[in-house]
Structure 1
């Protein structure tokens, strides 16, 4: 009789980006820290990411977040982020979704009003502030990774586009930042396919020409992200808004503007002298959803002005499910998966 293997999942979304939270069904992973557990999945057990982001279970536009035990005593939970490009050490939208899921699942008891707790990402501790009203998680504010500008207004020749001006920020991954208007875009939903093609050409040209190194992390891989920037308008005291779109290589335009994309924008606006501590920027996606980034402060580290920031957004629960993993199904590749799946009795 075939043993049934299954995963306990909660599907959520923030700004339109779906994050599939894995709450149970995976055996404890080797590694003393969340970062080491992420590296184990990346190097030895990539089957979970591929299973849930590929047919028949998922699509590349989704993300997966695996709940794991934290290693830091101040953290309530740990989580590992999986995307089409691989394993991000941090993501704003995934953090907002995961924080909502741990509250809705009871892993962190919900408290009416404003409550704070810590989660451990592969990048380290993340401070979470949740606003709960009548038992509903109305918003999550999380600390964005300290962000800085690596490159300001460089030019690269892209065969299908000509010369393109771009900046590069680090905000949890390296982002190419380009002016959407200069490339002929208005950042409307009907442009989504063209935005993806344009971004892919620019990212591949940058990857072919140069690499990037973080001042403490070193080589974190080829540049995987591009952020299209619309015009910035001031809509209130210390409050700005801009249409935006984030691309993840290869081939995905995110439904939301992404938290790390918003952090990258804050770093660029600070570098260009356009915002001050306490200012907020709302980035608005092709679908009209938004995240709000707040510029908190800066510090100087190894010749970089590093921007401290927070990201605020709302996540919605889409589904609770127990997903059956049938390795006899020819559409399912269980390679890199057998040794981490528990027997379904979590």
Structure 2
């Protein structure tokens, strides 16, 4: 067996995006959510091959573009990263939209608006393009909401913690400053990762985390530690642990979850900008565009603005004679 995949490589706010443009399998399903389930069942080897070493690395993430299932969308997307195939990825959406537009792989029906079909639902990307270059992209994300507020969890490392759990396309435990946790600057990166992994496990042992409208979206793959921003012009800083690595970007779905959390706590008003820094100091600007509901939960529609950059074009081969056809993780 020998397979090849054409890819556009780049980054959004420092976080890699590998967009697969050809070589991916046809998927069955009425929408991207069903197609994602088909991909997970039968083609997860592609994700592992493209994301894991030696073709990828521990912080690799990406997307696969598809024709949409209906004329309501301009393009379909499946998200892949080292932790799995996610229902939604914010930095991946900004990167995918930017790369597809700059490479001429999609022609939106409405200039300045790209309508993406994602496994989490419709995501609109408003963009400004000058010549080939997409100067900025703003994704209008899926409805986001606070699921648990001040959930008391025993951290194996820090002791009792109050944790908020919010949804922004993925579920995030958010740990703000409190008695047993002050700031991400108090810990090195490896310690934050290890504490985040163990805290996720403790939370999943303590409560059920399932999207009220889609039970295929469940559980925790992320954790967000918080801290004071590095730049005076930013409002907050978040360190998102995804699997066993730190997100280099502020994380689009994580920023969406934090917007929902702050609105629920009365710390942010609809339309008010929120500049969210990443662990490395890059930033997204988020706004709660409007209020809505998700099942019984009060929710918001988040808008997340950022920029992405192409770093190269890539043809990746996967050969069954290779000793690591599906890669490896250390």
**TM-score for the superposition, normalised by structure 1:** 0.87
Which residue of 2 is the match for residue 243 of structure 1? Answer: 237
Which residue of 2 is the match for residue 100 of structure 1? Answer: 98
Indicate yes or no: 2:39 matched with 1:41: yes
Q: How does 1:57-206 map to 2 (within 5 A)?
A: 57-109=55-107, 115-180=112-177, 182-184=179-181, 186-188=183-185, 191-206=188-203
Which residue of 1 is the match for residue 21 of structure 2? Answer: 23
Cα distance in 2 for residues equivalent to 1:256 and 1:181: 24
Indicate yes or no: 2:313 matched with 1:320: yes
Stretches of structure 1 lacking an aligned partner (at least 5 in a row): 335-346
Cα distance in 2 for residues equivalent to 1:246 and 1:211: 21
Residues 298-341 of structure 1 show CA distances to partners (whole Å, capped at 9, x for unaligned) of 1244431111111111001011011122221112239xxxxxxx
Which residue of 2 is the match for residue 342 of structure 1? Answer: none
Structure number with bigger Rg: 1
Equivalent of 2:278, from 281, 285, 292?
285
**Aligned CA-pair RMSD:** 2.4
**TM-score for the superposition, normalised by structure 2:** 0.91
Q: How does 1:219-238 map to 2 (within 5 A)?
A: 220-231=217-228
Which residue of 2 is the match for residue 305 of structure 1? Answer: 298
Aligned residue pairs, count: 326
Stretches of structure 2 lacking an aligned partner (at least 5 in a row): none
Which runs of structure 1 show a deviation greater than 4 angstroms over 4 or more consecutive aligned residues? 180-185, 231-236
Q: Secondary structure at the match of 1:100?
A: helix
Residues 239-289 of structure 1 show CA distances to partners (whole Å, capped at 9, x for unaligned) of x6111111113x121111101111111111111111111101111112110
Which residue of 2 is the match for residue 330 of structure 1? Answer: 323
Alpha-carbon deviation of 1:134?
4.3
Residues 206-244 of structure 1 show CA distances to partners (whole Å, capped at 9, x for unaligned) of 1122221222113633222111222489978xxx61111
Equivalent of 1:55, from 36, 53, 56?
53
Mark the CA change 1:158 to 1:189 in structure 2 (over 3 Å): closer, same or farther. closer
Q: Secondary structure at the match of 2:175?
A: strand
Which residue of 1 is the match for residue 252 of structure 2? Answer: 259
